[in-house]
Structure 1
Amino acid sequence: MILYLHGFRSGPQSQKVRSLADRLASRGLGEQLWCEQLSPVPFEAIAQAEAQIARCAEPPTLVGSSLGGFYVTWLAQRHGLRAVAINPFVPHAAFDQSLFIGEHEMIYSGERFRFTEAHAMQVAALEVTRISRPENVWLLAEEGDEVLDCRVAVARYAGCRQTVLPGGDHSFTRWDDYLDEVIAFAGLA
Structure 2
Amino acid sequence: MSKILYIHGFASCGEGNKSLLLKSYFGADNVIAPDLPPSPIDALALLEEILASTKIDCLVGSSLGGYYATILAEKYRMKAILLNPSTRPWETLAAYTGWQKRFCDEEVFEFKPVYLEQLKMLQTAPDKGSYLLLLQSGDEVLDYAKAQSLYNTHKVIVQYGGNHRFENLDEYLSMVEKFINK
> Which bin holds the TM-score, normalised by the shorter protein?
over 0.9
Match of 2:163 among 169, 183, 186: 169
Distance 2:89 2:44 in 1: 21
Deviations 1:96-143 (A, max 9, x none): 542121110111122111111111111111112x22136x11111000
Q: Is the 8 A contact 2:5 2:56 kept in 1?
A: no
Q: Is the 8 A contact 2:89 2:119 kept in 1?
A: no
Match of 1:111 among 107, 118, 126: 107
The equivalent of 1:61 in structure 2 is 58
- For residue 52 of structure 1, report the CA deviation from its aligned partner: 0.6
Match of 2:149 among 141, 145, 155: 155
1:17 matched to 2:19? The reply is yes
Deviations 1:71-91 (A, max 9, x none): 001100011110011100111
| Counterpart mapping for 1:74-153 below 5 A | 74-91=71-88, 95-128=91-124, 130-133=125-128, 136-153=130-147
Q: Could you say if the C-alpha distance between residues 92 and 156 of structure 1 is closer, same or farther in structure 2, counting changes exceeding 3 Å?
A: farther
Letter in 1 for 2:58: T
Q: Is the 8 A contact 1:90 1:153 kept in 2?
A: yes
SS in structure 2 opposite 1:176? helix
Structure 1: any 5+ residue segments left out of the alignment? none
SS in structure 2 opposite 1:186? helix
Q: Is the 8 A contact 2:81 2:132 kept in 1?
A: yes
Distance 1:48 1:186 in 2: 23
Distance 1:36 1:60 in 2: 16
Q: TM-score, normalised by structure 2?
A: 0.93
Deviations 1:39-77 (A, max 9, x none): 111111101110111112x44210000000010011000
Q: Is the 8 A contact 2:64 2:89 kept in 1?
A: no
Letter in 1 for 2:44: I
SS in structure 1 opposite 2:61? strand
The equivalent of 1:186 in structure 2 is 180
Percent identity between matched residues is 32
The equivalent of 2:46 in structure 1 is 48
Q: Is the 8 A contact 1:41 1:115 kept in 2?
A: yes
Match of 2:33 among 26, 32, 35: 35
Structure 2: any 5+ residue segments left out of the alignment? none
Q: Is the 8 A contact 1:4 1:33 kept in 2?
A: yes
